[in-house]
Structure formats: structure tokens, C-alpha cells
Amino acid sequence: MADIYEPESEADAAAMIAEAAREGRALAISGGNTRAGFGQKVDGATFTSKRLRGITAYNPSEMTLTALAGTPVAEIEAELADNGQMMAFEPADHRMMMGTEGVPTIGGLFASNTSGPRRFVAGAARDSLLGIRFVNGAGEVIKSGGRVMKNVTGLDLVKLLAGSYGTLGFLTEVTFKVLPVPRAEATVVVSGLNDAEAAIAMSAALATSCEVSGAAHLPESVRWLFGKNGLPDGPATLLRIEGVESSVTDRVNRLKPFLQRYGAVSQIDQGDSQQIWREIRDVTPFSEDGSCKPLWRISCAPSAGHQLLAALRLETGVNAFFDWQGGLVWMQMEGDAEADMIRTYLKRAGGGHATLIRARDNVRAATSAFEPQEKGVAALSAAVKAKLDPKGIFNPGRMG
């Protein structure tokens, strides 16, 4: 049975990592392990933050919270909800998508920079991160950033660790900003649009003064995989409005007639609206069903996603839906992973990033999960890795 390390304090983690560095022992860094199966497989002892739990500082009036890295996201969300606050970037729960169990942790959330539908207006997870504590590959404890926005010391290092998937350091504590929960929510739906028409409608809606906080398109081929949630049949283009009730009502009443030029318009009220956006956030339609069909996350210009999908549909079986005004495409392949084809067509459509989120072990082994970096960027990434993890013990090979 493989070794499993579960440090109960930052000091424990530092000592364990220092010993592993001296022995040249690889460590498979994880939080709640809810994204097991993502990226290249790591051969190493499991090193988890799940025993580093607890909210260490929270002042609702300052709208900042500090927690140990292994603290469950649900525990933090419950504390925030009691004070009418939230993480604005909408942390996702990808257990159904990945077919995993475990518990999502706040450290894992920031290490993967996981951001939901509000990303294009509220920023990514890393944009909420103010400060971190982590252990580097030499077993040294490093603190960067602070608990208030005006303290920007080491801000670049804070942002660097977010989205590094445990390859640069072992997070032990995070400090991040929070925001008030919107008191009301509604979603305006435009029915019957194809992918290209939906991209135009979403762009037009975001150009209004209606302050749209969610923009997604569900093609007809994927619409049936979502719950009913008040949605009409057929393809649906969704625009979310949030805020105080009177403001939401006013903005919805302005947005609906504006969108009638694109197609039939309807409205989903708060309960159903919240449910459908959770399904979009968690990629529920592409839940792992045992088939382990290759699942891609495509980040591109909002005007390019539908072009990419149209090109791919001429070549292979694919199912997809759009978030972030079309700039995020969740795409499930019906057969092979088709990495070269996807990345070639993505480049022709203007560029972006194609990340293989889920696939069978043999496909993962043969496919670079992350978009290959240009030569200069790759050299810089290698230099940063060598500085923070000189022995290369953290998640070796995870990012290809």
C-alpha cells in the first residue's frame, strides 16, 4: 500500500516535506482528492492537507476570511451564509463530473483556481486570494500577501500558487476576500438560438446596462441533460441578473424586450434559476457515468467557441455547452480524446487553452492534459518550479 502523509500542522508538513526532499521522494499533493483522475498520473506518496482544518480569522465587516487549507469548502460557505456573504467566484463541486468522492477543500479550490459562472464579471478564484502560507520543496514555510487588499506584498507569488495544482508548494493557509450574497436573482431565457446566434445575443446583453452576472448557452443536444428547472424545450440561452429585488425586477424588465429581437424570451425565477446555474457550475450534464468519456475544458474568446465546436462536429462526435458568454466550452467527446485535432482547430479559431479534464488512464498517459506552452513560457515555468521545488518532489509530471 502506498504511503499516505496527513500532517496535522504546518510544522508537521514542513518536517515531512524536508525529509522527502532529502530522500528525493515524490509527493502526490492533494486536498480532498475530489479531482483525482485529472492531469498526468503522479507516482508518489499521497500528501494531503485534509487534517489542516479550521477558520482561523473572519471579520464580516472587513469581508476577509482566513482558513487552513484542508478546511471543507462547505464549512466555509456555511459560515459565510450565516453572515449573508459568499465567495463571489462561485466555487464548483466537481465530484459528479470526475466520478470521485472526498470533500472539496479551500486549499484545493485555490490550488486549482476553480471558478464558476460569475467568473467573467467577478474574477477568478485567484483574484479573490489576498494571502497564503505554504511549504516549498525544501521544507521551508513561506508567507505571502496579507489580510487586506492594500497589503500587496508578495501578491505575484500569491497569484502564482493559485492554479499551480500543487506543483509549486503545499498550501497550508489561505486568506481571501468575500462579498455580500445577492438578495434576489432571476434568469432571462432566449429560446431556439443556434450556437452562433447565442454568442451574438449574449454579447449584446452584456453590452447593456443590465449588469448580467451569468451568460450561458445550452445547445439542443445537451439541453435534455439538464433538469427542467423552468427551462423551455430546445436550445436555451441564459442571462442571469442578481442584486436587490427592486433592481433585479427593473433590469429584467429592461432586458426581456431588448432580447426579443433574437428569439422567444421567457423568465426563470429565483429557485429554479439558482438550480440551473449550479448545474452549469458543477458541469452536472457531463457527470461521470462509468464510461469515462474524454471531457475537455476550452477557454477561448467568446466569439470563437462556437466556431471551434462547428469545426469539430464535422470531424467527430462531440457534445458541449457554453459558459462565460461563450468563452468557456465544456466539451465531451463521444470517442477518442482527439487532442491534436482540438488544439489545431482552437488555434485556427484564434487561440486559447484546451485542458483535458477527464479520461481513461491510458488516454491520460498518452495525452498532455494542459495546453502545450510556448518555448519562452515553458522556460520561465521551469525556472519558477526549480526555485520553489528544487528537487522536483511536488506532483512530478502532473502538468505534463
Cell digits of residue 60:
464580516
End-to-end CA distance of the chain: 25
| pTM confidence score | 0.93
**Are the CB atoms for 184 and 268 separated by under 8 Å?**
no
CA 207 to chain centre: 25
The count of other CB atoms within 10 Å of the CB of residue 156 is 9
Tens of pLDDT along the chain (400 residues) come to 358 999 999 999 999 999 999 999 999 999 999 998 888 888 899 999 999 999 999 999 999 999 999 999 999 999 999 999 999 999 999 999 999 999 999 999 999 999 999 999 999 999 999 999 999 999 999 998 765 444 444 447 888 999 999 999 999 999 999 999 999 999 999 999 999 999 999 999 999 999 999 999 999 999 888 888 889 999 999 999 999 999 999 999 999 999 999 999 999 999 999 999 999 999 999 999 989 999 999 999 999 999 999 999 999 999 999 999 999 999 999 999 999 999 999 999 999 999 999 999 999 989 999 998 889 988 988 999 999 999 999 999 887 6
pLDDT at 227: 83
Tell me how far apart the alpha carbons of residues 91 and 365 are, in angstroms, rounded to a whole number: 28
Tell me how far apart the alpha carbons of residues 317 and 342 are, in angstroms, rounded to a whole number: 12
CA neighbor of 266 nearest in space, from 303, 228, 302: 228
**Are the CB atoms for 185 and 178 separated by under 8 Å?**
no
Q: To which residue does cell 431588448 refer? A: 258
Cell digits of residue 176:
481571501
Domains of the chain: 4-180 (3.30.465.10), 184-281 (3.30.70.2190), 284-375 (3.30.70)
What distances in angstroms separate CA 184 from CA 74, 123, 227, 265, one per listed residue?
22, 21, 21, 20
